[in-house]
Amino acid sequence: MKVIFNKTDLIDATNIVLKAVSSKTTMPILTCILIEAANEEIKMTGNDLELAIETKVSGIISEEGSIAVDAKLFSDIIRKLPEGNITIAQVGEVINISCEKSNFNIQGKNAEDFTRFPSIETNEYICISEFTLKDVVRQTIFSVAQNDNNKLMTGELFEIEGDNLKVVSLDGHRISIRNIKLRENYKQKKVIIPGKTLLEISRIIPGDSEKDVYIFFSDNYVVFEFGNTVVLSRLIEGEYFKIDKMLSSDYEVKMTVNKKDFLESIDRSLLLVRESDKKPIVMNISDEKLDVSMNTVIGTLKEEIEIKKEGKDLKIGFNPRFLSDALRAIDDEEVDIYMVNAKSPCFIRDNDNSYIYFILPISFIA
């Protein structure tokens, strides 16, 4: 194999496939990326057996071939090379990487040992824009559980019904829901996609484009196709939580508040909270005003925010980071927050239920 790349194109492609390279494994081949040059195409692939990413990269093929190369070493080398064209030539299982007057020889691995994409049936699919996919991940990913105590909580539910896509994430303390209107009607489908997969995809796609992303489903896998890139991921097996039973339209207090004012107040309260602290932000809701307070070993904060209120007065506490995450995900200028009492969750939602954020309260000493 002998191929010539523009440095920027090669680095961009390498960065994409690196997201599917295993950093902790006893199998050396999983620390590699595969480079293939054949049929007038150059492809690069990373695969950690849970997530696989393949992308096409522009270049000139002087000689076809394929080889696997240690991903970190390869990435470090090409970054340090001077600007210009990079030539990669294979001699047996040795890879020669040259640019200008720099010349590296490193050991490669047989391409046949690399784990390739499994062959899957992809008859069922949906199509959404890159912008929409990136946005919906941004608006829900923070509610995915960060540990594996309950595998289902480490993924997001994608539920398709007709022309509606519902995306749900939860971690035991909060729930995030987004409802997306699709351009077509599709067959009913429910899958649980790993949060890691969605996070990496959101980092790859530009997100400012209305270009299409095709999402294909099989029994055990999901495939995302966009631009020159294909991402394949295992699905999480199991039946997702019945969240409809957790949601309610009942409330005794409705507070409408300017999002920017409320978010800035919460951000100021977080200055007094250490990372390990579980101190609540206390909200005292009365007619036309919201009193916000934070009391920690570092100090105290009290602020007043104008609101519109329906229903009774209420004093309630929440994890300030959970409120902050939800508010940052909302693009509206004003938000409606619905509550029942100091021990029941609040719901932040719009009139169309295009987004719903459910947050459990924290008890506090009055």
Kindly report, residue by residue over 86-124, the tens digit of the pLDDT: 999 999 889 999 999 999 999 999 999 998 888 887 779
User: pLDDT tens across 280-311, in order?
Assistant: 999 999 988 999 999 999 999 999 999 999 99
Q: Per-domain residue ranges for the chain? A: 2-113, 124-244, 247-359
Domain 247-359 is found in CATH 3.10.150.10:
yes
CA dist list (Å): 205 to 58, 143, 199, 217, 233 = 18, 21, 10, 19, 16
The percent of residues in the chain predicted with pLDDT above 70, rounded, is 99
Mean pLDDT of 204-223: 90
149 pLDDT band, cuts 50/70/90, is: confident
Total length of the chain = 366
* Residues 133/201, Cβ–Cβ less than 8 Å: yes
Q: What is the CATH number of domain 124-244?
A: 3.10.150.10
Q: Is 220 helix (H, G, I), strand (E, B) or coil?
A: coil
pTM: 0.93
At 278 the pLDDT is 81
Q: How far apart are the two ends of the chain, measured CA to CA in Å?
A: 72
In the numeric block, the tokens 């997702």 are attached to 240
**Is a pLDDT exceeding 80 seen at residue 335?**
yes
Name which of 243, 253, 255, 224 is nearest 337 in CA terms: 255
User: pLDDT tens across 153-186, in order?
Assistant: 999 999 999 999 999 999 999 999 999 999 999 9
CA dist list (Å): 321 to 2, 182, 267, 298, 339 = 52, 31, 9, 17, 18
* Residues 140/329, Cβ–Cβ less than 8 Å: yes
- Looking at this protein, which amino acid is placed at residue 97? I
Mean pLDDT of 60-75: 96
Q: Is 152 helix (H, G, I), strand (E, B) or coil?
A: helix
User: pLDDT tens across 236-283, in order?
Assistant: 999 999 998 888 889 999 999 999 999 999 999 999 998 777 889 999
For residue 209, the number of C-alpha atoms closer than 13 Å in the C-beta half-sphere is 10
In the numeric block, the tokens 């295993």 are attached to 22
Are domains 124-244 and 247-359 of this chain identical in fold?
yes
25 pLDDT band, cuts 50/70/90, is: confident
**Is a pLDDT exceeding 70 seen at residue 366?**
no
Phi-psi group of 5: left, alpha or beta (phi > 0 → left; psi -120 to 50 → alpha; rest → beta): beta
At 43 the pLDDT is 97
Q: What's domain 2-113's architecture?
A: Roll (3.10)
d(CA 317, CA 216): 42
